[in-house]
Structure 1
Amino acid sequence: MSGDRIEAAFRGKLGTFSLDAAFQAPMRGVTALFGPSGCGKTTLLRCIAGLQRLEGRLSVGGEIWQDGGTFLPPHRRPIGYVFQEASLFAHRSVRGNLLYGFDRAMRGRDGPPAIGFDEVCDLLGLERLIDRSPRHLSGGERQRVSLGRALLSQPRLLLMDEPLSALDAMAKQEILPYFERLHARLALPILLVSHDIAEVERLADRLVLVRGGRVEAEGWINDLLTDPRLPFAGTRGTAAVLSARVLGREAGDGLLRLDLDGQTVLVAAGAVAPGAPVRLRIAAADVSLALDRPSRSTILNVLHARILAIAEAGETEVVVGLGLGGGGGQRLQARITRRSLAALELAAGMDVFAQIKGASLAAAPGAPNLECNEGHPSCAYRPETP
């Protein structure tokens, strides 16, 4: 039913650029519009906001915002928009900037707000900044205030156009946990435009791959990251993002013990409560394969898997697609040499042991609790159905 999702389809020309793109997204979690610069990601976002008018259709949670003769202007669309640069009012304090959006949203509205001022300040760590001028904020702090102002406008949909691209690496690491906290605590659909795959791996549930003004693929993030038909498989940094659950901490060395589709994985990580869902990032280059389970090795994590597919990755290497367990579990990949492929006579359908040389949590503890409606085994999150 369309009430549980966003349906967007736009087509038209802007100068020499042609857009003909359609996708769907759930009414909860982060959907990333990913692709190279100039592929049409921001144009799609502006069409959804009503800032750019092209022929098409837009339905948000069952409400028609654009279709045929219907076109809601931007001011009638309940959206929050976070731009690359935090456009704050220099003459207002942080409090004044936040209340600007809040007061406008609550004007003539009955009942309490969906998200309140104190909640936003707590969510984004703005309490100590509240009386400062924007001129005295760092880049990361300014973007947190911009995000807070967008949230206080009481949006039904949050749009973020490369909100981290203007920040340096240190500022990005400072603000990312706040984005994750937002994701975990608010049942709000977020469309995130990005060309940074590491950012997408850390934040997104679903992925829409945009190329040349068209949607090349869309789906749950790990399905696309591990699809040998898509360009991710050919890149050296390709990785899988899997969902796991914390079992506890090892008493001897403090490693975190995770349940990954019924198999145990050990990682070095900070404090996370037992039972908490986490995102686990495993790079294809950090996975080697064996026909027999190793008995004595420095590699701690060895997972039983089945080969699903083998794709070329340059002149000397291939990417092996794997399904955990008997092949029906979550997917990951191994990047190995053609020589190793031939030596072990690896082929689709074979059972192997994947030796994980490196695994890390892809997001801060307390990752959101989200599952696809289909209960797909390769979704980024797979705890209880909301």
Structure 2
Amino acid sequence: MAERADDIHIALRLARGDFRMDLDLRLPGSGCSVVFGPSGCGKSTLLRAIAGLEPRAHGEIRVGEACWQDARSALPAHRRGVGMVFQHSALLPHLSVVDNLRFGWKRARAAPELLERWIERLALAPLLSRKPDSLSGGERQRVALARALVSNPRLLLLDEPLSALDAPRRGEILPYLEAVRREAGIPVLYVTHALEEVARLADHLIVLDAGRVSAAGPALDVLNRDDLPLALRDDAGVVLEAEVSARDAHGLLSLHTSAGTLHAHGGAHPPGTRLRVRIQARDVSLALGRHDDSSLLNLLPATLVALSDLPGGQVQARLEVQGQALLARISHRSVERLGLQPGMPLWAQVKAVALLV
């Protein structure tokens, strides 16, 4: 990544019991950088160290031209200009929603329009007079997100903000997080172990393993690599940039992608909307010829690039579709029955209802 004046440089070391963190990161000074990895790999520790909440973390943190920490000194947490949202909202229980928001806003001496903007953008007006214990989990996290933003932070840190929510509540709050990513105007560092959140939110992706960086770079480049543990997960797949070209009366979207036109069911996205579509390997089937006499709407001419054995008698097929990588997960018996060999032309088939947008 070419260095820019607003980039973020993080070089940290920390030892705690058996855990060791040793990493050197350069992150873009805009957009959403997602830190991804399994539990215990150091994701939350990294965020706490950036926020100044890990006194045993040694090294250097620079945010643009500002030095937050080096070998000689370290700014205390309250001077780092960080807005932080944790797994649980940590709202002040005795204050109403509006007073929770005003608490951070007044301390930051931020402009009045900043408070008004995020109340409107995160749809909080109906909640302002209520206390935190009367809110749903998703509502509490929206308030916590607004509280962090109205403090006018230099950097927004989100530590698995959706992990305590069930699937419907996660689905409700993700569009708000996408709005923050687009409109906040500050860099966001987001921790998660959920690929859905990575696919929806990440501009830059950092994969952590046991306190070290195993991969980092533009999000789609890292997500679509087949040499990382990501490709071995049950929900492995590829993520494509897409533009909505049409939407029919039943909500079926036609999407223009680098792999060709795809059809998927999604939200009420008008033509011209740019979004991402995730194609999971387990949802891709293979055929030797094109079959138009089935319910499958997505039929893509492909070339088989490689076959890799997986546990449980499965095989992962790496395909190329108009220069775009695609993964399919099939059985050994299917490989033998179809006589699959690298270099063969095939048809990749995906149900419209299986695509994730």
TM-score if structure 2 supplies the norm length? 0.90
Which amino acid is 2:23 matched to? A
Aligned position for 1:299 = 296
The change in CA–CA distance for 1:362 and 1:255 in structure 2 (over 3 A counts) is: closer
> Within 5 Å, which residues of 2 pair with 1:268-307?
268-307=265-304
Which amino acid is 2:268 matched to? A
Residue of 343, 347, 353 corresponding to 1:353: 347
Aligned position for 1:265 = 262
Deviation at 1:94, TM superposition (A): 1.0
Aligned position for 1:232 = 230
Aligned position for 1:36 = 38
Aligned position for 1:89 = 92
Which amino acid is 1:318 matched to? V
User: Is residue 2:150 matched to residue 1:148?
Assistant: no
Could you tell which deviates more after superposition, 337-346 or 181-190?
Answer: 337-346
Given that 1:228 and 1:309 are in contact with CA atoms closer than 8 Å, whether structure 2 keeps it comes out as: no
Distance in 1 of aligned mates of 2:343 and 2:68: 47
Describe the SS at the equivalent of 1:353. strand
User: Is residue 2:307 matched to residue 1:314?
Assistant: no
Deviation at 1:345, TM superposition (A): 4.3
The change in CA–CA distance for 1:358 and 1:4 in structure 2 (over 3 A counts) is: farther
Residue of 115, 140, 157 corresponding to 1:117: 115
Aligned position for 1:336 = 330
User: Is residue 2:213 matched to residue 1:221?
Assistant: no
Aligned position for 2:206 = 208
The change in CA–CA distance for 1:360 and 1:67 in structure 2 (over 3 A counts) is: farther
Distance in 2 of aligned mates of 1:3 and 1:310: 43
Structure 2 gaps of 5+ residues are none
The change in CA–CA distance for 1:104 and 1:262 in structure 2 (over 3 A counts) is: same
Given that 1:28 and 1:190 are in contact with CA atoms closer than 8 Å, whether structure 2 keeps it comes out as: yes
Given that 2:208 and 2:215 are in contact with CA atoms closer than 8 Å, whether structure 1 keeps it comes out as: yes
Deviation at 1:81, TM superposition (A): 0.5
User: Is residue 2:184 matched to residue 1:186?
Assistant: yes
Residue of 236, 246, 249 corresponding to 2:247: 249
Distance in 2 of aligned mates of 1:361 and 1:279: 10
User: Is residue 2:23 matched to residue 1:21?
Assistant: yes
Distance in 1 of aligned mates of 2:342 and 2:75: 51
Residues 147-184 of structure 1: per-residue CA shift (max 9 Å, x gap)? 11100011121101111222233432332222222223
Distance in 2 of aligned mates of 1:156 and 1:311: 45
- After the TM superposition, which parts of structure 1 deviate over 6 Å for at least 4 consecutive aligned residues? none
Given that 1:278 and 1:361 are in contact with CA atoms closer than 8 Å, whether structure 2 keeps it comes out as: no
Residues 63-102 of structure 1: per-residue CA shift (max 9 Å, x gap)? 3322322422212212100011111122222111111111
Question: RMSD in angstroms over aligned alpha carbons?
Answer: 2.3
Residues 327-380 of structure 1: per-residue CA shift (max 9 Å, x gap)? 2x3x321112223334444444444321113455645xxxxxxxxxxxxxxxxx
Aligned position for 1:173 = 171
Describe the SS at the equivalent of 2:46. helix
Distance in 1 of aligned mates of 2:4 and 2:68: 13
Aligned position for 1:100 = 103
Deviation at 1:146, TM superposition (A): 0.9
Distance in 2 of aligned mates of 1:345 and 1:78: 60
Describe the SS at the equivalent of 1:46. helix
Given that 1:283 and 1:359 are in contact with CA atoms closer than 8 Å, whether structure 2 keeps it comes out as: no
TM-score if structure 1 supplies the norm length? 0.84
Could you tell which deviates more after superposition, 197-206 or 25-34?
Answer: 197-206
Distance in 1 of aligned mates of 2:353 and 2:181: 23
Given that 2:199 and 2:276 are in contact with CA atoms closer than 8 Å, whether structure 1 keeps it comes out as: no
Which amino acid is 1:95 matched to? V
Which amino acid is 2:81 matched to? P
